[in-house]
Structure 1
Amino acid sequence: MTSIPRPPHAVVVPFPSQGHVNPLMHFAKLLAARGFFVTFINTDWMEQRIFKTPNDSAAVSNQLQEQGLQIRFLALPDGLPPDHGRVQAIYEYFQATQKLGPAMVRLLQSTANEAPPITCIVSSCFMSCTHQLATSLVLPRVVFWTFCTSAAIVFANCRMLLEKGYIPINVKEARRAENLITCLPGMIPPLRQTDLPTAFRVEDTADSTFQLMMYESEIQNKADYVLINAFEELEGPEAAEGLSKGYPALPIGPVFLPDFLQATKSSVSVATSLWEEDLDCLQWLQTKAPSSVLYVSFGSIVVMSMEQLHELALGLEASEQPFLWVLRPDISEGKATVLPEGFRERIGERGRIVQWAPQLKVLSHPSVGGFLTHNGWNSTLESISLGVPMIGWPLWAEQFLNGRFCKEIWRIGMDFESRVEDENALVSREEVEKVVRAMMEGPQGKELRKNVARLKEAATKAVMPGGSSYRNLDKFTSDMTARANSQFE
């Protein structure tokens, strides 16, 4: 009697921050829709922030199963005290995640009878502990890049950049020299040193964070398979080849888009927001004219000085443009945010301020005509996919590369001249007003909207049947399914 093969089983492990959990959760649903059994592993801290109560994850898992999607959620301690800053103390956070490998092995072994045999380990970049996990369980390790392909190539080639003297970076000297980087693999545009991630802006290569990035880079390159949350039409099909070290490297994004395009009232939404979303802002958007609202959000980690927040607020006020501003409770360097006196009264119904917003629903709303963003990759890719041009305000990590590509390569964004000269410069209220007016009222903004509309169409085609990302995801799932079937031969 021939046995019936059990489904492929992917263990999905995001780095425990919202910018990694979000795309990995969308990816998990894509796998489950293709017949995979998925185990999604969070840390306890992240699990509690997402699901709020211990029973929520089980309830969501049951709802998904009712729709034929087999996803179970597991969690383990990250080894840090409850009051630790986590992503706000990034070096210690990385150190903690690097030690999670043995605990993950024990967790999976203790729950092995609840799931099919594991086929592969999929982790977001910067989760080097999963290399130890995959090695211990003798399984292929898949690295999922949560950046654009060009930024992923930069991170994957830290050693080369160090050996050729491009890192560490002296920003002032780099701005004067404008020494273009042309040695990176893949057909990406030449980079400036100031495009490189902020982790490389240190005076001494012995710097602990610098060394941590070097280590993570080397472990990431030991993958058996690479997936990228981008689409070929954005950077060219050759770009992904720059990430391959003899194994497949496939752009499969935007991973959020298939679910978003096909959303129905019956589909199960897995909330991954660390803050409660203000849904009332969608009703407020309904009162505004098409393409008239500027959406302002700096993501889940960025902090700003109170002085800069005041200049931004007064610039938005002076622009006379409607705006929806996400103002996190912790955005002002851990202090309670106090806006300029009388600001809320003066803007009235022209502006809406919320602690957190349902970003995909906001960006896809007809009244939104521009996005003032930190250029994190999730936000940038969502804005591209939903056809909204950007005003870039990058602050750390690879955001400077994303911002320059939006402005100069893809021509879907603008920025602030003062921050081009000095990224730590205070952006004045006058410059905020000028740039916001140019985006929302000027001919440049209209041209950017036309350009991003073309990329929106390309992103949609990429994830639909026959599209580049759809085909690449099919290749990955076919490869893993073949491996799962071989386990039963």
Structure 2
Amino acid sequence: MSHFNHKHTTFLNTPSESKMKNIHILAIPYPAQGHVIPLMEASRCFTNNGLKVTFVNTDFTHKRVMSACSQIDGPSNHLMRMVSIPDGMEPCDDRSDIGKLTKTMFERMPAKLEELINDINKNDDDHIMCIVADYYMGWVVRVARKMGIRLASFCPSSAAVSAVIMSVQKLMDDEVINCNGVPMKDQMIQLSNSMPFMDPRNFIWACIGDSTTNKIIFDFIVLEGKEAADYIICNSTMELEPGAFALFPKLLPVGPLLATNRSARQVGHFWNEDSTCLAWLDQQPICSVIYLAFGSFTVFDQRQFEELALGLEDTKRPFLWVVRPGTSDSMDYVYPSGYMDRLGTRGKMVSWAPQQEVLNHPSVACFVSHCGWNSTMEGVSNGVPFLCWPYFADQFFNKTYICDIWKTGLGLNKNDTSIVTRGEIKSKVEQLLDNDLIKENALNLQEKVMDCVRAGNSSNKHLNKFIDWVKEETS
């Protein structure tokens, strides 16, 4: 397979060639939906500040992104091009097997990335001056060091997750985890007095899958390149995570990274957005709609799916529900008998939604979420209260932020058979929507967070600091 050819290269809204020379950076995300979108948003911030970006997806991800988005808007996107390299897996391999995907990428992608950079650098006026690599692509450290290119990391998760990874040695020294990352104590811990308590069983590498997968994630993501970058830029704000940023000044909050900050359309999706839901929302009363979306990884079994469907029916409220089709190894979900007839127009189901626009819609009352960090930032940025239903990885800690620290939401609890029942769903929706304090907290936090990106304020200053750093040795 060719590592770099024209059929895998896409220029975004390319106008006539610019006469000025732009500093060239390469951005490379982990090939997951929640990683591609925020790094794409960061890259668009870079191009808006005059930097040129080559955005490197895997071949598999590149095809999905480009098929879901035929055109990228924005005044500076002639400075961004999309390219791809192989992830090392076969076309028929299951890329939802995170352990196998991660291990294969770490073994096979470094050589392909080096070839790509050498091809780009053949043009003396187009050299890659800096690499911005996803925090979960630690193997890029080897490539950057070998080629003498400066490296920054991008954290698509909370700053707290970065802080945990940067504290791994201390966690081992304190016997919180062993040398394989396995928790040794059944107790909550704090990284510092200014940070919330954490459950080691919910560390990013400890709850991804089975023990083999967890070990792969620990070895190839956590240990590989956790301290090599000069800067780690984060899709977060000082207001949301002051403790993490105080503990590690290397972390630069530049968030929230939202397309709506630029009155633009979000890009980087793996699926086509169904915008018909916006017209449906227009027909609903203000603050009436329950919005449900569980990201790109969450999978319910049929029993849980039915219980959720019936719980929504029992609320008697309008709802917009993002229901992704079943995976290749499972059947699509089946709704309870007569469900659609009973709902009529009160429920709207879509396979993928323009989430930032949905959350910004005045009809939305609350967000039932898996608490992925992108969704968390988008909900916070729109002042929407949460019902938290984490699935894996950092989502459990994000729930802690929402429910216990920011107090902008409630958690959904499972019963003895690990099911969130229809009664629990109905009860928690009522509790949330009757709680004026949570609504007030959500709106107050929205104001603080969105203030960070305004000119001269913290996230804006940190973004400018990073861009100045990229430029300083090339001027």
User: Would the alpha carbon gap of residues 348 and 305 (structure 1) be closer, same or farther in structure 2, given more than 3 Å must change?
Assistant: same
- Tell me which residue corresponds to 2:137: 127
One of 130, 133, 148 as aligned partner of 1:138: 148
Q: How far is 1:85 from its partner?
A: 2.1
Give the partner amino acid of 1:217. Answer: V
Provide Cα deviations, 1:391-446, integer angstroms capped at 9, x if missing partner.
Answer: 00001011100001100000001012337xx7x71111111111112223x2x2x2
Percentage of pairs with the same residue:
30
Aligned counterparts of 1:138 and 1:356: Cα–Cα separation in 2: 41
Does structure 2 retain, via aligned residues, the 8 Å contact 1:295–1:323? yes
One of 405, 408, 411 as aligned partner of 1:409: 405
One of 166, 172, 180 as aligned partner of 1:156: 166
Aligned counterparts of 1:326 and 1:17: Cα–Cα separation in 2: 18
User: Would the alpha carbon gap of residues 287 and 308 (structure 1) be closer, same or farther in structure 2, given more than 3 Å must change?
Assistant: same
Provide Cα deviations, 1:142-179, integer angstroms capped at 9, x if missing partner.
Answer: 111111111221233233323433235679x83xxxx2
One of 74, 88, 94 as aligned partner of 2:102: 94
Extract unaligned runs of 5+ from structure 2: 1-18
Does structure 2 retain, via aligned residues, the 8 Å contact 1:393–1:415? yes
Aligned counterparts of 1:128 and 1:287: Cα–Cα separation in 2: 47
One of 1, 7, 11 as aligned partner of 2:26: 11
SS at match of 2:344: helix
One of 103, 111, 123 as aligned partner of 2:120: 111
Does structure 1 retain, via aligned residues, the 8 Å contact 2:40–2:267? no
User: Would the alpha carbon gap of residues 286 and 270 (structure 1) be closer, same or farther in structure 2, given more than 3 Å must change?
Assistant: closer
Aligned counterparts of 2:351 and 2:183: Cα–Cα separation in 1: 36
Does structure 2 retain, via aligned residues, the 8 Å contact 1:11–1:120? yes
User: Would the alpha carbon gap of residues 187 and 274 (structure 1) be closer, same or farther in structure 2, given more than 3 Å must change?
Assistant: same
Aligned counterparts of 1:198 and 1:318: Cα–Cα separation in 2: 37
Aligned residues: 451
Backbone CA RMSD of aligned residues = 2.5
- Tell me which residue corresponds to 1:234: 240
Provide Cα deviations, 1:200-243, integer angstroms capped at 9, x if missing partner.
Answer: 58997xx453253144223122222111110001111x522434
Give the partner amino acid of 1:460. Answer: M
- Tell me which residue corresponds to 1:251: 253
Q: How far is 1:271 from its partner?
A: 3.0
Provide Cα deviations, 1:268-318, integer angstroms capped at 9, x if missing partner.
Answer: x46311111111110000111111101001001111111001111111101
1:185-264 equivalences in 2 (<5 Å) = 187-197=194-204, 199=206, 207=212, 209-218=214-223, 219-236=225-242, 238-244=243-249, 248-256=250-258, 259-263=259-263
User: Would the alpha carbon gap of residues 156 and 214 (structure 1) be closer, same or farther in structure 2, given more than 3 Å must change?
Assistant: farther
| Residues 1:180 and 2:185 are matched in the alignment | no
Aligned counterparts of 2:163 and 2:41: Cα–Cα separation in 1: 23
- Tell me which residue corresponds to 2:13: none
| Residues 1:24 and 2:43 are matched in the alignment | no
User: Would the alpha carbon gap of residues 322 and 332 (structure 1) be closer, same or farther in structure 2, given more than 3 Å must change?
Assistant: farther
- Tell me which residue corresponds to 1:464: 454
SS at match of 1:404: helix
SS at match of 1:261: helix
User: Would the alpha carbon gap of residues 416 and 193 (structure 1) be closer, same or farther in structure 2, given more than 3 Å must change?
Assistant: same
Q: How far is 1:77 from its partner?
A: 1.3
Provide Cα deviations, 1:94-119, integer angstroms capped at 9, x if missing partner.
Answer: 01221311111111211224562222
Give the partner amino acid of 2:256. Answer: P
| Residues 1:451 and 2:441 are matched in the alignment | yes
TM-score for the superposition, normalised by structure 1: 0.86
Give the partner amino acid of 1:389. Answer: P
Aligned counterparts of 2:135 and 2:90: Cα–Cα separation in 1: 24
Give the partner amino acid of 2:363. Answer: S
Extract unaligned runs of 5+ from structure 1: none
Does structure 2 retain, via aligned residues, the 8 Å contact 1:13–1:41? yes
SS at match of 1:119: strand
1:203-352 equivalences in 2 (<5 Å) = 207=212, 209-218=214-223, 219-236=225-242, 238-244=243-249, 248-256=250-258, 259-263=259-263, 269=265, 271-330=267-326, 334-352=330-348
